[in-house]
Structure 1
Amino acid sequence: MRYELLGPLRVCATDGRVLTLSAPKAEVTLALLLLSEGRVVTKEQLTTELWGERPPRSASAAIHVYISQLRKFLADAGAGDPGCPAITTTASGYRFQRGGASYDAEEFTAAVRAGRARQAAGRPAAALESFELALALYRGSVLDGHGDGPVVSSFAAWAEEERLTCLELAIEARTTLGQHREVIGLLGGLTAEYPLRESFYRQLMLVLYRAERRAEALEVYSSARRVLRSELGLEPHRSLRRLHQAILSADRLLDHQPLAS
């Protein structure tokens, strides 16, 4: 079976069914147990994750209900067995064991790690394959944005940052392969969606320059400078400023270097 947390929570049962939970707090409970696999999650931790600093008086009873629901849900999915259930009760809380089930966040991390290694070894096509495999695992915001407790929200922030980093790496691999025009539209959308992320401006400027659209590359710099000064009161990072100067002087170092055959 399989657990998927890079998006709305899903559990792929041993018989191939894709199962979801209808109750958001039961989802958050399972997410916290999954993120804390092998460690005891105390009732206090669950309470904070589910309700923050103002839990209802019925919090303890509600947690018992969610755990009971999850045990039935996971048993239906084929998790654990009568002698070794997925969720066990301890003196202070609950412990979750994934057993041999796969987990999309682990697969994402492994794919990015493989991509980095392939990129460092001078194999951009293979690196791109790994990065795209990782990106395909990301289905949207964690729990559809329903989990705002400290553990789930931290994981959601990590997942989003890793996705953006993976996008940067995938675009870098494409530019190494000479696929400049293919990523212009993507980068245009990314700079609009993440206007304070300078790395996307840098990548867009470079591919526009290599696509013989130097004036547009310079306009991207001007736009980035306006946004950064307006929003943060800062000038662009020196790497962006150096690229701007290199484009103005048509520095040959910016030209694409074909891979050796």
Structure 2
Amino acid sequence: MRYEILGSLRVTDDLAVAPVSAPKMQVLLATLLIRANHVVSRDELSNEIWGSAPPRRATASLHVHVSQLRKILTRPGRPGTPIATTAPGYILRLNPGELDLHRFQCLLRDGRRAARSGHHERAVDLLGAALSLHRGTVLDGVAGGPVVGGCARWAEEAHIECAGLFVTSGIALGRYQEMAGVLCSLLARHPLHEAFYQQLMLCMSRSGRRAEALRIYRCARDAIRQELGLEPSRELRELQRMILLADDTPRDMRLVG
């Protein structure tokens, strides 16, 4: 089985996609996946599914939902179910590589190490593979509680870090045009992330597109002023000044990914 939460919630095998469409079932599965290979208590699951207003027979209802989920995750010709009852709740046991979030974490860890060691070709390969696992907003449409919401927020920050490192290594390899396209897509999703504006300005400047680099600075300044009531960071203003004063930004300029 393969489980995917880096986008809408999906369960697949070699034959088909297992449907998990009921909202409470989605929250239950998402919570068990986030805490995979660890016991999740009935109280915590109840809080994720119903919040502060559980039904009178919450424990019985939870048992029904778990039973239904077990049926969905039990595949023909495969003994048993990945969900086990273990006091004080339930555990979903996964094998290595079955959850896309775990694969993303491994690729990001190795890619981060490669980037920091200056092995940029390897970093681009690893981080690009990690980014390809994201299909959109994490757990899109799953309205859970603190476990689901916390995971979604963490995964979004990890995606930003991964993208920044990917672009930094791409710039180090001189792939300015390719990285400019990546950054435009990232800024459409994160229009207030200044590091992406810095990287895009650098790509444009090093590609000989100095006027476009300065236009990007103006777009960044306007967005930050309008949304936050602030001025661009010192690093962004300094990069603008260097582009204005020189035909090329110094090659040893360092940007945070």
Coarse TM-score class (shorter-chain normalised): 0.7 to 0.9
Tell me which residue corresponds to 1:190. 186
Preserved CA contact (<8 Å) 2:206 2:249: no
Letter matched to residue 69 of structure 1 = Q
Q: Is structure 2 residue 19 aligned with structure 1 residue 2?
A: no
- CA gap of 1:128–1:77, structure 2 versus 1, over 3 A, is farther
SS of residue matched to 2:231: coil
| 2:29 is equivalent to residue 33 of structure 1 | no
Identical residues among aligned pairs (%): 45
Are residue 226 (structure 1) and residue 257 (structure 2) matched?
no
- Cα deviation, residue 49, structure 1: 0.6
Paired residue for 2:138?
A: 142
Which letter does structure 2 place at the counterpart of 1:207? C
Alignment partner, residue 41 of structure 2: 42
CA distance in 2, matches of 1:56, 1:20: 25
For 2:74, what is the secondary structure of its paired residue? helix
67 and 78 in structure 1: CA distance in 2 versus 1, 3 angstrom threshold:
farther
Structure 1 residues 154-193: aligned runs within 5 Å? 154-193=150-189
Equivalent position to 1:87, from 83, 89, 92: 83
Alpha-carbon RMSD across the aligned residues, in angstroms, is 2.4
Residue 95 of structure 1 aligns to a residue whose secondary structure is strand
Which residue is 2:148 aligned to?
A: 152
Partners of 1:188 and 1:52 in 2: how far apart? Answer: 38
Work out the CA distance in 2 between the residues paired with 1:249 and 1:101.
Answer: 50
Name the TM-score, length of structure 1 as normaliser: 0.86
Residue 77 and residue 157 in structure 1: after superposition, are their counterparts in 2 closer, same or farther (change >3 A)? farther
**Residues 192 and 66 (structure 1), Cα distance of their counterparts in 2 relative to 1, 3 Å cut:** same
Deviations 1:170-189 (A, max 9, x none): 11122111111223233233
Letter in 1 for 2:59: S
Is the Cα contact below 8 Å between 1:9 and 1:20 reproduced in 2? no
Runs (4+) of structure 1 exceeding 4 A deviation are: none
CA shift at 1:99, angstroms? Answer: 4.5
Provide the rounded CA distance (Å) in 1 between the counterparts of 2:248 and 2:206. Answer: 11
Q: CA deviation at 1:55?
A: 2.6
2:51 matched to which residue of 1? 52
Q: Distance in 1 between matches of 2:56 and 2:77?
A: 34
Name structure 2 gaps, 5 residues minimum.
none
Name 2:211's counterpart in structure 1.
Answer: 215
Q: TM-score, normalised by structure 2?
A: 0.87
Once the two structures are overlaid, the 10-residue window that deviates more, 114-123 or 70-79, is 70-79
Q: Which amino acid aligns with 1:35?
A: I
Per mean C-alpha deviation after superposition, the further-off stretch among 2-11 and 110-119 is: 2-11
The offset of 1:96, in angstroms, is: 2.5
Superimposed CA distance per residue, residues 109-136 of structure 1 (whole angstroms, 9 cap, x where no aligned partner): 1111111222223221211110111011
Deviation of 1:11 after TM superposition, in Å, equals 2.7
Unaligned runs of 5+ in 1: none
Pick from 198, 202, 213 the counterpart of residue 198 of structure 2.
Answer: 202
Helix, strand or coil at the partner of 1:143:
coil
Cα distance in 1, alignment partners of residues 182 and 77 from structure 2: 40
Q: Is 1:113 aligned to 2:109, yes or no?
A: yes
Q: Secondary structure at the match of 1:128?
A: helix
Q: Provide the C-alpha distance between the structure 2 equivalents of 1:63 and 1:53, rounded to a whole number of angstroms.
A: 15
How far does residue 58 in structure 1 lie from its aligned partner after superposition? 4.5
In 2: Cα distance, 1:155 partner to 1:191 partner: 22
Residue 207 of structure 1 and its aligned partner are, at CA, apart by 0.7
Contact 1:124-1:173 within 8 A present in 2 as well: yes
SS of the aligned residue for 2:52 comes to coil
Give the drift of 1:251. Answer: 7.1
The residue identity in structure 2 corresponding to 1:53 is S
Aligned length: 253
Kept after mapping to 2: 8 A contact 1:88/1:95: yes
| SS state at 1:160 partner | helix
Residue type of the alignment partner of 2:4: E
Change over 3 Å in CA distance of 1:138–1:189 after alignment to 2: closer
